Amino acid sequence: MFYKTKNKIDKNKYKFTEDWFSHESESKVVIQFEKFLSQYKNKPCRFLEIGSFEGMSAIWMLENILTHKDSRLWCFDKGETWTKNSFETLITNIYKTNKQNQVEITKGSAEENLVNFPRSYFDFIYIDGDHEAETVLEDAILSFRILKLGGIIALDDYLLGIRWPKSPGAIACKNPPKKAIDYFLEIYAEKIKILYKDYQVWIKKIKE
C-alpha cells in the first residue's frame, strides 16, 4: 500500500546511519506513531522513549507531536557497544531540533531509571531498548506502573525473528520479545486495550 504523509524526517538536516522508523524503513513504524499519537499534538504531555539510538523516533515526536511548549520527552539509552558513537549523535541531533529544553536525555539502562518516576506520570512510552525477552518484560511492567490511565505504550519488534528472520537484530537476539509481550498482554488483559498488534504492539491503559 502506498502511504502518503506530510510528516517526513529531514534526513539532510540530521545524521542517521540506520532507519528502523520512517516510511523508508521496512517496518514503517511511523505509520502507527501518526495514527495513535496525533491526539497529543499541541497539548502539554509527557513522553518517554526507552532506546533512542540516534534519535530518529525522538525527533519525529518532537517535530510532529510534542509541539506544545510544555510538552516533554525523556530519552533513555544505554549506549551499547554495537551502537558505536550513536549517543553523541543523539545529542547533536536533538540540539538541531532546537527543542533541547523540552528533552531530558539519560545515558544508562532504562530499567534502573524507570523506578524513579511516580505512578501515572507519562502519556506515552515507547519501548524500543534491549530486545531480549527478559528485559522487554521488565520494561513493560515498569512502564505500565508509570503510565497515566488512558495513556499508551508501544512495544517494538513483537515479531523479531519471525517477520525478517535474517535481519542482524534477529540473528543477535537470543530470546526474542514475542514471548515477553504475549505474557504481558495476558497478565494485564483486564487493564489494557490492545490498539494494534502486528510488528509492533500498541496498548492503552484502561484500568490502574
**Binding interface with ligand SAM (CB under 6 A):** 20-21, 50-53, 56-57, 76-80, 83, 86, 109-111, 128-130, 135
| Smaller CB separation from ligand SAM, 173 or 195 | 173
| Smaller CB separation from ligand SAM, 41 or 107 | 107
Minimum distance of ligand SAM from residue 171's CB (angstroms): 14
| Smaller CB separation from ligand SAM, 50 or 147 | 50
Minimum distance of ligand SAM from residue 72's CB (angstroms): 17
Q: Which of 114, 172, 170 is nearest to 139 (CA)?
A: 114
Minimum distance of ligand SAM from residue 14's CB (angstroms): 11
Minimum distance of ligand SAM from residue 77's CB (angstroms): 5
Q: Which three cell numbers stand for residue 14?
A: 540530521
Q: Which of 21, 17, 120 is nearest to 63 (CA)?
A: 21
Q: What is the dihedral of CA 91, 15, 130, 148, to 10 degrees?
A: 60
- List C-alpha distances in Å: 78 to 8, 37, 189, 192: 27, 25, 30, 28
Minimum distance of ligand SAM from residue 113's CB (angstroms): 8
| Smaller CB separation from ligand SAM, 11 or 69 | 11
| Smaller CB separation from ligand SAM, 71 or 86 | 86
* Half-sphere CA count of 155, side-chain side, radius 13 A: 34
Residue nearest to ligand SAM (CB): 51
Rounded to the nearest angstrom, the gap between the alpha carbon of residue 199 and the centroid of all alpha carbons in its chain is: 13
Minimum distance of ligand SAM from residue 159's CB (angstroms): 14
Single-letter code of the amino acid located at 72? R
Single-letter code of the amino acid located at 73? L
Q: Residue 104's beta-bridge partner residues?
A: 74
Q: Could you tell me which residues come within 8 angstroms of residue 143 by beta carbon, excluding any fewer than 6 positions away?
A: 48, 50, 114, 122, 125, 127, 153
| Smaller CB separation from ligand SAM, 5 or 42 | 5
